[in-house]
Chain A
Amino acid sequence: MTTQDPGKLMAKADKLTKLSFTRWNADWKNATALYEQAAVGYRFKKENEKAKEAFEKASKGQEMISSPWDAAKHMESAASLAKELGHWNEVSDFYRKASELYRECGRSQPASDALGKGASALEDTNPDEAVRLYIDACEILEEDGKEQMAFDLYRAATSTYVKLERYTDAATLLLRWGVAADKCNAVNSQCKAYLSAIIIYLYMHDFQQAQKCYNDCSQVGAFLSSDQGRCARKLLSAYEEGDIEEIKRLAQPSPITHLDHVIIKLARKLPTGDLKELEKEEDKETLDENDLT
């Protein structure tokens, strides 16, 4: 069987599925089997384009005989071949389709895995789409209550955002990561996510946001009394005093070194911009404190 020419197999399978006078029902079962063999044959011969088509048709066949699991698997193979061929929009389409089929089976983990694979394939070429895929994958897992698995996805999505220099989005995503970590009692990850968000705000030279973010996160008791919370406090007070040396000194040791390497790079580049501006804003605030309310 494997010695048969995949082209012939494809032709045979196509004949089985095409409706004509003599054939009233498409014989999907046999056709699917033939398509699969053809696809494997093509892949062996490294004819990626034809292999991809064969996998697509095999997947459609599996759908027809209502076995979404196999259909999804074939879709994924087709998507990986499309990635090698460089058809990026096809990659994202295929992976999304595969993920939907997995969700039909009721298996959320492979669904999000498929989206994650698609996102990592698209990171270099189409980062916006990649980020969308990552976020969809995280949502699938969160719906199913499996937030633990989403951490890696959040991490990858954050690093993509930082590469794109969309820092507000990155910070928002980090706060979402904090919420997910909170739900599964992963205190360490939660504190790290909050500290990373504060560092990103400081890197964007947005001190007010950083301060607000810190105040919000302090509502969570775990963050306040953790190493990360202490480091954030010291960082913000160093910013208030405009002490560049102190900021540089704080960025060196842990717990910043335990964060993601992308965030460490940002932290090393602190402080950005002119600290004198921040001091001027601070004076206004101190006047308000003396005002009794």
Chain B
Amino acid sequence: MSVIDILTRVDVICKKYEKYDVDKLNADNVSGDDAFARLYASVDSDIESALQKAEAASSEKNRAAVVALNAEIRRTKARLLEEIPKLQRLAVKKVKGLSKEELATRSDLVSALPDRIQSIPDGSSTGAKTGGWTASGSRTGIRFDTTSDGRFDSEYFQQTEESNQFRQEYEMRKMKQDQGLDVISEGLDTLKNMAHDMNEELDRQVPLMDEIDSKVDKATSDLKHTNVRLKQTVTQLRSSRNFCIDIILLCIILGIAAYLYNVLKK
């Protein structure tokens, strides 16, 4: 027989003998008669809706809407916390058709409710924004092994000396690794701070550089103009005509001087 056949057969048998299923009948009746179950169901649905609102609040951009949602969540939480004593009283009451175990589980459920209600994020514990906390939480909680240590059941696991040693070495190495990572993280923090400061310093110097740029441009253009004017003046002064006249006059003077020198020598 294949699995599918087995399943269909089981379904048919279950349907046939449904009327003998006490638990199911009880469940159908219970939701009608049992006040505890009704109240519990309503509290449960309130918690669910509050959680949904909390999710909406965390993804909402409009801060006013976030504040309003958080206020609503807080109101719901307070109301639910008030209902818990009622639930506890109902849980202890004996209802026909319920076993003793069920009663115990009911009181457990009720005691678990306050924790569930408190854990609904309403923005008051983390200062109206949970972004920072979750980020820090994930940063400090890096885990490399998925199993939590020490959950080894003594029935299924017997420790030999070797495995003990191995575990110790593993712990030591993990500690050393953690220390090394701490050192690295400190160094990175310092680097980050320095980088930020450098960034700001550069931002500060950008307008100064612009000023320098424009001033130097002005200075170079002034210099160019001056150079051109200087060139014009110098060429005027040293034009070839004046130059030749200077040389000729100089030769004449030298000639006269030489003539006089000769005359005087004689």
Given the interface pairs A186-B200, A218-B127, A254-B193, the reply to whether A292 lies near B74 with Cβ below 8 Å is: yes
Query: How far in angstroms is the closest Cβ of chain B from A235?
Result: 13
Whether the Cβ atoms of A254 and B189 lie closer than 8 Å is yes
B23: interface (CB < 8 Å) = no
Most-contacted residue by chain B among A186, A253, A255 (CB, 10 A): A186
Given the interface pairs A148-B204, A149-B204, A254-B190, the reply to whether A229 lies near B196 with Cβ below 8 Å is: no
Interface size class on chain A is 20 to 34
B127 neighbours in A (Cβ, 8 Å): 215, 218, 224, 233
B128 neighbours in A (Cβ, 8 Å): 218
B78 neighbours in A (Cβ, 8 Å): 290, 292
Cα(A217)–Cα(B3), bound, Å: 65
Whether the Cβ atoms of B132 and A229 lie closer than 8 Å is yes
Whether the Cβ atoms of A184 and B131 lie closer than 8 Å is no
B165: interface (CB < 8 Å) = no
Main secondary structure of the interface of B (DSSP, over half): helix
Per the 8 Å Cβ criterion, residues 148-207 of B in contact with A are 186, 189-190, 193, 196-197, 199-200, 203-204, 207
A233 neighbours in B (Cβ, 8 Å): 127, 132-133
User: Total interface residues on B, using CB and 8 Å?
Assistant: 23
Whether the Cβ atoms of B193 and A255 lie closer than 8 Å is yes
Interface string of A119-159 (1 = CB under 8 A from B): 00000000000000000000000000010110000000000
In the complex, the number of residue pairs spanning A and B with C-beta atoms less than 8 Å apart equals 53
A166: interface (CB < 8 Å) = no
Whether the Cβ atoms of A253 and B204 lie closer than 8 Å is no
Given the interface pairs A233-B127, A253-B186, A290-B78, the reply to whether A258 lies near B193 with Cβ below 8 Å is: yes
A230: interface (CB < 8 Å) = yes
Query: How far in angstroms is the closest Cβ of chain A from B206?
Result: 9
A229 neighbours in B (Cβ, 8 Å): 132
Per the 8 Å Cβ criterion, residues 51-84 of B in contact with A are 74-75, 78
A187 neighbours in B (Cβ, 8 Å): 196
Given the interface pairs A218-B127, A225-B131, the reply to whether A189 lies near B193 with Cβ below 8 Å is: no
Query: How far in angstroms is the closest Cβ of chain A from B17?
Result: 52
Per the 8 Å Cβ criterion, residues 196-227 of B in contact with A are 196-197, 199-200, 203-204, 207
A277: interface (CB < 8 Å) = no
Whether the Cβ atoms of A292 and B204 lie closer than 8 Å is no
A253 neighbours in B (Cβ, 8 Å): 186, 189
Given the interface pairs A225-B132, A230-B132, A254-B189, the reply to whether A292 lies near B75 with Cβ below 8 Å is: yes
A289: interface (CB < 8 Å) = yes
A17: interface (CB < 8 Å) = no
A225 neighbours in B (Cβ, 8 Å): 131-132, 135
Cα(A146)–Cα(B128), bound, Å: 35
Whether the Cβ atoms of B129 and A148 lie closer than 8 Å is no
Whether the Cβ atoms of A289 and B124 lie closer than 8 Å is yes
Whether the Cβ atoms of A224 and B189 lie closer than 8 Å is no
Query: How far in angstroms is the closest Cβ of chain A from B181?
Result: 14
Cα(A290)–Cα(B131), bound, Å: 24
B8: interface (CB < 8 Å) = no
Q: Which residue of B lies closest to A148 (CB)?
A: B204
Whether the Cβ atoms of B203 and A184 lie closer than 8 Å is yes
Cα(A233)–Cα(B133), bound, Å: 9
A227 neighbours in B (Cβ, 8 Å): 189
B186 neighbours in A (Cβ, 8 Å): 253-254
Query: How far in angstroms is the closest Cβ of chain B from A60?
Result: 30
B200 neighbours in A (Cβ, 8 Å): 148, 186, 188-189
29 A-B contact pairs sorted by A residue (CB < 8 Å): A146-B207, A148-B203, A148-B204, A148-B207, A187-B196, A188-B193, A188-B196, A188-B200, A215-B127, A218-B127, A218-B128, A218-B129, A224-B127, A224-B132, A227-B189, A229-B132, A230-B132, A230-B135, A233-B127, A233-B132, A233-B133, A254-B186, A254-B193, A255-B193, A258-B189, A289-B124, A290-B78, A292-B74, A292-B75
Task: List the interface of chain A (C-beta within 8 A of B).
Answer: 146, 148-149, 184-189, 215, 218, 224-225, 227, 229-230, 233, 253-255, 257-258, 289-290, 292
Instruction: Given contact pairs A218-B128, A230-B135, A254-B189, enumerate 18 new A-B contacts (beta carbons under 8 Å).
Output: A146-B207, A148-B203, A148-B204, A148-B207, A185-B203, A186-B203, A187-B196, A188-B193, A188-B196, A189-B200, A218-B129, A224-B129, A229-B132, A230-B136, A253-B186, A255-B193, A257-B190, A292-B75
Leading 9 A-B pairs by shortest Cβ distance: A188-B196, A148-B204, A258-B193, A254-B189, A186-B200, A292-B78, A230-B132, A230-B136, A225-B132
